[in-house]
């Protein structure tokens, strides 16, 4: 069985990443950290917008062993919203394109959906909506959760087991 491959690239094309297989999850996060980190990145000179108009950050989440920077790794710069934050947001310094987020102790990478040129899978849910800072109501097109739903943790746990058993 062959796994699908998706390609992500910065705006200028000097940094290219490859994601193998289907993502663990395709979601939009509204947590305070994603909103703050996104705003900081979008404030960089000539940075491309990558969040939704209501401040949500769309991601495709992949296992660590299924996501790689294939070109331009020397151009990647990490940002943290606080000095000791366990999450770092990785940006292509050539054009200030947000590329992905890496949660320190986790076994996954959450790649910014806007960086995928090919047809990304549909969004599955919205998380941490209690932190959403927008006056319009959430659209009813996806399940929305005030926190992180149990199914998210189950998928992450399943991905961890699959990694451990080489699947």
Contact 114, 50 (CB under 8 A): yes
Specify whether the backbone of 146 is left (phi greater than 0), alpha (psi in -120 to 50) or beta: alpha
Global pTM value:
0.93
CATH number at 59 reads 3.90.1590.10
| Average pLDDT over all residues of the chain | 94
Domain range enclosing 114: 5-164
Q: What is the CA radius of gyration of the chain?
A: 15
Number of structural domains (the chain) is 1
What does the pLDDT look like over 27-55, one tens digit per residue? 999 999 999 999 999 999 999 999 999 99
DSSP character for 114? G
Q: Kindly compute the dihedral angle of the four CA atoms of residues 23, 118, 16, 110, in this order, to the nearest 10 degrees.
A: -30
């Amino acid at each position: 069985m062959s796994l699908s491959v998706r390609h992500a690239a910065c705006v200028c094309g000097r940094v290219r990443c490859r994601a193998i297989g289907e993502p663990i999850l395709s979601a939009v996060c509204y947590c305070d950290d994603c909103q703050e980190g996104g705003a900081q990145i979008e404030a960089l000179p000539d940075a491309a917008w990558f969040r939704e108009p209501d401040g949500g950050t769309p991601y495709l989440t992949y296992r660590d062993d299924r996501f790689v920077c294939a070109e331009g790794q020397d151009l990647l710069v990490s940002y943290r919203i606080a000095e000791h934050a366990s999450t770092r947001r990785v940006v292509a310094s050539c054009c200030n394109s947000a590329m992905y987020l890496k949660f320190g102790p986790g076994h996954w990478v959450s790649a910014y959906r806007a960086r995928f040129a090919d047809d990304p899978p549909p969004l599955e849910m919205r998380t941490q909506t209690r932190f959403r800072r927008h006056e319009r109501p959430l659209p009813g097109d996806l399940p929305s959760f005030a926190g992180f739903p149990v199914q998210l943790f189950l998928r992450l746990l399943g991905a961890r087991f699959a990694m451990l058993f080489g699947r």
